[in-house]
Structure 1
């Protein structure tokens, strides 16, 4: 069994390589420049080094087409695996989930001939899972998938468990630039960040803490200043770790140099809580897609836990 994810699911490249996870890339166009968002460190650094700043909010993103997904599976994955779980960010924010579902019909119709030509027999299964979250918030479902595959669980049991984890995954985001966030939201027709809120928030250095949960995103708190916001978010995550998680992992992504995360207030407390509880702390550069949507310098953090009320 294997896994495929879309590029905006934030996990470290080393984790993806260790578990042989295929990545469905996203094409990002900023003016006349094109970036292939495939979670490659080289491409992420090329994007950061270009210092595109405010220009990025006008970027066009093109997720894998139905045909691209079909080619990935029929040219490669059906020859390497007998069952592939395909995990995407929430269908409410991206068409990639719909593309993968549509592609699955053609894949499941045509895989037999491809496998037989290469001396492979037996059925091929393709299962599509909506993580119902964004960026680092999509990571807990993927981490759990690797754990279940390693444990030798049956496909039906894996699918049921991953659906449960997706429904109980929490993704938090702390943006750095409200003006950028509003400009990007306006371009995409999203009215969730109004001009008044952006101006007031920037003037007073007030940042919203946003949460992704079950396909919905919205503010759950406000903090004064980015550093204080990071400390608030990390302290909150440490408390959730101590209370118990459904998947022993906390995932952080950052829209900049990853070495900056460990210097932020509250990080040491979160790391210590994870170590004490035997929880993996996975740190990842934010995808290029994530950065053009929420702005460079933003933090996202994800974990899976029983339903609870966020208290900020």
Structure 2
């Protein structure tokens, strides 16, 4: 069985990895004034958009998922021909309509694929499954890497599905915004009151950064640290402890950054994280944050994800 993998563009993994493993991208639309771009996770395009548009009034930008019809056309145009079963992995449905749109599109796809495959000389069945990773950005990458490992090991779709759905329950995602005023404006536009005016002003005045945690679709603060660099170091040290205790459910850790990766590498604690991953055979993925992610988190934000049993977070 030919198993295909699809991820939405907010999923933070290196472009080289996505290309090497033939992972298709379900894009999102990003609009900033008159400028519009389909986010296909192109790091160069993302950084160019960041420097020319997002750095100005990026909180006014709008990101929106592909429509049901656009997703349907993407599958019927290529994926139903190239594969027999497709896993489409999306960010948590609590933060975006991507999952819902993909789920709705799947009904039309399954009703219409036969004629498309027959025209290509293939009369065998096609199936797909939309998976809610229940997380965002770097943390979404955990399920994707595991699906590649299982597919390459020759596992069938039932085992892959069960593993991904279980892994979603235990994926731990973290975010550190650099600019709380930016985050407040973004949440205000989205109708989200999680970052209030007073909290943003006090946090900015005293340079206090929240460490946000996402698990099972729920996001909230688990720590507040003075200065962005100190917050990043604290998060990296937390990840190192979980690695050294052999607590990860998969040998994978993903990190993304809202800017050039050279700046990520200079953050305090990052080299210790890299060394801990190397010593324990944990694969560390570094990537530029998606354009959709930067629109919501802001320039210079940090995201990290791993899979482990939910426990008291030492932050």
Q: TM-score range by the shorter chain?
A: over 0.9
Q: Deviations over 1:76-100 (max 9, x none)?
A: 0011111110000000000010000
Determine the structure 2 residue equivalent to 1:140.
142
Output aligned runs, 1:189-208, within 5 Å: 189-208=191-210
Q: From 26, 29, 46, give the equivalent of 1:27.
A: 29
SS at match of 1:50: helix
Contact 1:57/1:292, CA 8 A, preserved across alignment: yes
Contact 2:213/2:219, CA 8 A, preserved across alignment: yes
Corresponding position: 1:52 with 2:54: yes
CA distance in 2, matches of 1:62, 1:78: 24
Determine the structure 2 residue equivalent to 1:8.
10
Give unmatched runs, 5+ long, in structure 1. Answer: none
Q: Deviations over 1:140-178 (max 9, x none)?
A: 111111111111111111111000111100110111000
Contact 1:57/1:180, CA 8 A, preserved across alignment: yes
For residue 58 of structure 1, report the CA deviation from its aligned partner: 1.2
Determine the structure 2 residue equivalent to 1:72.
74
Output aligned runs, 1:188-267, within 5 Å: 188-244=190-246, 245-267=248-270
CA distance in 2, matches of 1:130, 1:242: 29
Determine the structure 2 residue equivalent to 1:87.
89
CA distance in 1, matches of 2:44, 2:117: 34
What TM-score does the superposition give when structure 2 sets the normalisation length?
A: 0.97
For residue 225 of structure 1, report the CA deviation from its aligned partner: 0.3
Point out 4+ residue stretches in structure 1 off by more than 6 angstroms.
none
CA distance in 2, matches of 1:141, 1:243: 21
Give unmatched runs, 5+ long, in structure 2. Answer: none
Q: Deviations over 1:220-251 (max 9, x none)?
A: 01111011111111111111111221111110
Q: Deviations over 1:109-165 (max 9, x none)?
A: 111111111111211110110000010111111111111111111111111100011
CA distance in 2, matches of 1:280, 1:51: 33
Determine the structure 1 residue equivalent to 2:277.
274
For residue 48 of structure 1, report the CA deviation from its aligned partner: 2.1
For residue 54 of structure 1, report the CA deviation from its aligned partner: 4.7
Q: From 291, 295, 298, give the equivalent of 1:295.
A: 298
What TM-score does the superposition give when structure 1 sets the normalisation length?
A: 0.98
When the two chains are superposed, the root-mean-square deviation of aligned CA atoms in Å is 0.9
SS at match of 2:311: coil
